[in-house]
Chain A
Amino acid sequence: MSTQTREPVRSAKRRRTGVSNRTDWWALVMIAPATIGLAVLYLWPFASTFLTSFMNVPAFGPGQFTGLDNYARLLTDGDFWRALRNSGLYTGLVLLGIPIAIVLAALIQQVSRGRAIYRVLFFLPVVTLPVAVGMVWRFILNGDFGLFNWALSLFGIPGQYWVADDRFTIYAFAAVGIWMTLGINLIILGAGLQSIPMDLYEASSLDGAGRIRQFFSITLPLLSPTIFFVMILSVISALQMFDLVFVMLGSINNTAIDGSKTIVYLFYEAGFVQFRQGDAAAIAMVLLIIIMAATAVQFRLQKKWVVYE
């Protein structure tokens, strides 16, 4: 009965959308490459990482299921907790770049000339090889003759070994991380600003609202969905930070590396330097859980501050 009533509707819809039965077969052909690739190179590796995280896999030969051993070992491993703390601190610090990006995006929006040039200049770090970025900043932040310490000395502030002392390395990474991602955030926030209707500003300035007032009562609330989006993306990518650790410390045998590893650096080391695949898989699973939890928490909190029309 139900199929009888559904069939005519379905074929009527089909006629209306003009998709014939023959096209369905083409759809399978068209979708096959993406589906096979996704299954082989993404779904299978994901399943394999999940399973491996419960296994002890020697360098050669088959692995053995060992239950939660890998996870238990991680939880008692000081290096792992250190990496969690480092990644968490880095992520928190990088979020401080978002207010900077909001203010700059709003300012760029306000000027009538030179917008294109500002956008290009702020975007340059995004199209710069991260390895090159790390190298340049390692030079600038050098404790003995770096430009940054010299600039601090002009203000009478004593310099530090920013990339050689693990009390400071995460802060150094975060400064570079903010510099690197500012351009991305500016572009996304700029697109959000464009969608705010101009009339709102015109009406409020007729009512006597100044620019600062407009920023807080029009720009920020109406931009809040975009800010939320930028936060989600920033947290996800900051939790996966690897390049800066590798380039600024890891590839040059800097002793500060021991206290400066992030989660993904630890994963790389376990999986592809020391070939402890079970541990690497467990680290990756923990990373997945952390990223999902961080995203879920932000979605929870958004109800408190994101304004939807």
Chain B
Amino acid sequence: MSSIAVRATAPGRPAPSRRGEWRIHVILVVAAALMVVPFVWEILASFKTNAEVSSLPPTILPEQPSVRGYATFFDSVPFWAQFGVSAASLVMRVVGQVLVAALAGYAFARLRFPGRNLLFVIFLLMLMVPSQLFLLGQFEIIRDVGLLNTIPALAIPGIFSAFGTFLMRQAFITMPREYEEAARLDGAGPVRTFWSVMLPMARPTVAALAVLTSLYSWNDLLWPLIVTPTGDARPLPVGLASMQGQFGTDYPALMAGALICTVPLVLVFLFLQRQFFAGIASSGLKG
């Protein structure tokens, strides 16, 4: 604690171990460059011609910069429709999951009801089961209610999340009870207390959960592949993968497509870095 205070009050004074810092920067810059090379290569290739990307030795900058790759991508993939599907299913899933998980998390954290602990244990157990164990049954349900090839099919299973419930419960359980008591003394009922007092206080957790869920929703491939075998409700990952099946060797077009489909979430990430890091730190769970 004291060392943090020292660092905060004397930011200009370098710690003794900071002298050789440039050496660390050399390592980190090299490592970061290796991380970024694929992106740079993707961008450069997207502006090259098909002949140029397959030439040896490879050229670095495009010799005759061309946007044909982008034109091919937009001609062959209904990008805006698929973007719309991805965005709509993301919003549906995120809003739904945050609401459902916050309500249940609050009840688990604060309210008493018979079977609470048993139910919570069941939620925790579900947390440990890999998602593939649910896919066959979820597919049958979605098919039987006639939702195949629709946007709700993409979003619905993800709305219900044992992980989200668990995360929200942890957020509520650490909050001081005084706020709720004050709210009740002011005449607020449980719903009002939850909605106007507790949920706003849980905003950092809500943000982390929303961002994490967005990441899964935007990136997911397997479930969309299963529930949108044909039709117009294909999200970007499925559209991009099927474009690759069609234009397997047109690398400039493939790179252009990969780039365009990547940009939206990267932009969101650049604006909400803290929430992304908090979300990942709170779970690290993939899928």
Contacts and interface: CB of A to CB of B under 8 A. Distances in A.
B255 A291 contact: no
Nearest to A233: B284
Interface in A198-254: 198-199, 201-202, 205, 211, 229-230, 233, 236-237, 239-240, 242-243, 246-247, 251-253
Interface string B261-287: 110011011100100110011001111
Interface string B239-276: 01110110010010011011101100110111001001
A97 interface: no
Nearest to B33: A121
Given A34-B101, A46-B134, A236-B130, A132 B258 contact: yes
A292 B129 CA distance: 9
Interface residues of A, number: 105
Contact of B25 (A45, A114, A280): A114
A150 B261 contact: no
Nearest to A10: B112
Contacts of B112: 14, 19, 23-24, 27
Interface residues of B, number: 111
B215 A127 contact: yes
Interface in A36-91: 37-38, 40-49, 52
Contacts of B129: 42, 46, 288
Contact of B35 (A19, A182, A205, A267): A182
A30 B137 contact: no
Interface string B215-228: 10011011001100
Contacts of A281: 136
A42 to B, nearest CB: 5
A105 B117 CA distance: 38
Given A120-B273, A132-B262, A251-B242, A18 B248 contact: no
A201 B17 CA distance: 10
Interface in B54-112: 54-58, 99-101, 103-104, 106-108, 110-112
Interface in B21-58: 21, 24-25, 27-28, 31-32, 35-39, 41-42, 45, 53-58
Given A42-B126, A205-B16, A233-B284, A110 B141 contact: no
B119 interface: yes
B177 interface: yes
A150 B59 CA distance: 11
Contacts of B41: 136, 139-140, 147
A110 B240 contact: no
B177 A17 contact: yes
Interface string A169-204: 000000000010110110110110000011101100
Interface of A: 14, 17-19, 22-24, 26-28, 30-31, 33-35, 37-38, 40-49, 52, 104, 107-108, 110-112, 114, 116, 118-133, 135-137, 139-140, 144-145, 147, 150, 179, 181-182, 184-185, 187-188, 190-191, 197-199, 201-202, 205, 211, 229-230, 233, 236-237, 239-240, 242-243, 246-247, 251-253, 264, 267-268, 271-272, 277, 280-281, 284-285, 287-288, 291-292
Given A40-B141, A129-B218, 13 more contacts: A22-B190, A23-B190, A27-B111, A31-B119, A35-B104, A38-B123, A45-B134, A145-B56, A187-B281, A188-B281, A229-B284, A285-B133, A288-B130
18 contacts: A24-B111, A30-B104, A38-B160, A38-B162, A46-B126, A48-B136, A49-B134, A49-B137, A111-B21, A118-B32, A123-B273, A126-B280, A132-B259, A188-B280, A229-B284, A233-B286, A253-B245, A272-B139
